[in-house]
Amino acid sequence: MSRKYFGTDGVRGKVGKAPITPEFVMHLGYSAGKVLASRDWHLARGERPSVLIGKDTRVSGYLLESALQAGLSAAGVDVFLAGPIPTPAVAYLTRALRLQAGIVISASHNPYEDNGIKFFSDSGSKLPDEVEQEIEAGLEEPMKTMASSELGRAKRINDAAGRYIEFCKSTFPFDLDLRGLRIVIDCAHGATYHVAKPVFHELGADVVAIGVSPDGLNINRDCGATEPEALRRAVLEQKADLGIGFDGDGDRVVMVDSIGALYDGDQLLYVLARHRMSKGNLKGGVVGTLMTNLAVEHALGKMNIPFQRAKVGDRYVLEMLRQNGWHIGGEGSGHIICLDRHSTGDGIVSSLQVLEAMRQNDASLSELTKDLALYPQVLVNVRVSGKFNFEKNEGVAAARQAAERDLDGKGRVLLRASGTEPLIRVMVEGEKSEKVVYWAEKIAEAVRQAAP
């Protein structure tokens, strides 16, 4: 069965337009509730399955939360409401509270006009494809509200943020602290706005927080992991030792050092792999994606660290990690997964793992990445109005083949459709910057001319 609504990260779109409408989201909650209620959870007699709902700071979160709650209740599922908390906090609390699923209302790094729904299983991982397909199949059936005596009930969790703060701190070694470090954090006016600062402050850091005044409309606007210039400026102005930027739902992280140099997910993943290998606790190898910079693969190869590429999307990184029995993987965008610390990607937890490497080696990010020289890489996003099979277009194929001949094995060309937005992403990387820029634009123009 093909996926009609679910992309690589749940169901996402512009609020008020299908599928992100109150009617659809209520039906989605109902269908998900029916699927959950039908599964064998070994619940006590008469006990209903329970689901946690968390959200980021978008104004539409209130609307969609109510719709989801209504649908789940109609299906006979109890609901725990956590309010605004990071996506990985939902994954953690779902496990900690022994619930049957977790649901996040968020469009991650997208602007406030967008929103989405994504699910976590009882183990704190993204739902398997087959369960998402079962939920989609249920959307074809009409809603039938349970009898009043069997309706689900709702309860608010007042200490959700505090529980998550303590969990994050527990992933940092007890024999280390952050005393003497001045850290700027940028919370993107998103879900980490009230939890990130306490984590780093209680571990001993002097923390300056920006992007912590959400108004429902300013999430990810000129701030956070996707717009790191504000973080870089703040680090320089505050004469800080480090800057840490999160995205709107808190599962991505980027860092800035004391001189304003930016470190993306590829570089941070390399730091973690290098450190764990030096300590003898790197389990297996590292999983990246098709977008991971070629220099990372080469640098890990020099250390005899196995490296594999998954499809783009943290769910596919996670799947490959589990298949291999490995622990760490991630994307250049800042999604980093440390399976020995958490069941999903977590911006705060990942940044603490990098800080652990810095403290234990008494080294800066610059020193920890001195053996990694990233290849020039250009990503061009081409907006399309509908589905476009670029693989069968002769003009796009010709441009791609010409680029690959010119790169002559010393670079890569990658085209892919975004799983969350109506975009074709064109990526070119290689040894020479001028050549990379030229071919990225050339291929992107071929896509523009051919796309609907």
Catalytically active residues, by annotation: 108
For residues 336 and 172, give the distance between their C-alpha atoms in angstroms, rounded to a whole number.
Answer: 16
Q: Give, for 100, the enclosing helix (H) or strand (E).
A: none
Q: DSSP secondary structure string, 379-408?
A: EEEEE-SS---GGG-HHHHHHHHHHHHHHT
For residues 376 and 317, give the distance between their C-alpha atoms in angstroms, rounded to a whole number.
Answer: 23
For residues 372 and 358, give the distance between their C-alpha atoms in angstroms, rounded to a whole number.
Answer: 16
Q: What are phi and psi of 322, to 5 degrees?
A: -70, -40
Instruction: Name residues whose C-beta falls within 8 Å of residue 191's C-beta, 6 or more positions apart in sequence.
Output: 54, 55, 56, 57, 84, 85, 86, 87, 89, 106, 248, 249, 250
For residues 203 and 191, give the distance between their C-alpha atoms in angstroms, rounded to a whole number.
Answer: 20
Q: What are phi and psi of 127, to 5 degrees?
A: -60, 140
| Rounded alpha-carbon distances, angstroms, from residue 227 to 48, 88, 107 | 43, 21, 16
| Rounded alpha-carbon distances, angstroms, from residue 54 to 20, 82, 325 | 17, 5, 29
Cis check: omega of the bond before 128, within 30 degrees of 0:
no
Task: Say which residue the tokens 């680090």 belong to.
Answer: 235
Q: 386 with 438: CB under 8 angstroms?
A: no
| Rounded alpha-carbon distances, angstroms, from residue 105 to 111, 116, 265, 327, 421 | 14, 6, 24, 27, 17
DSSP state letter for 241: S
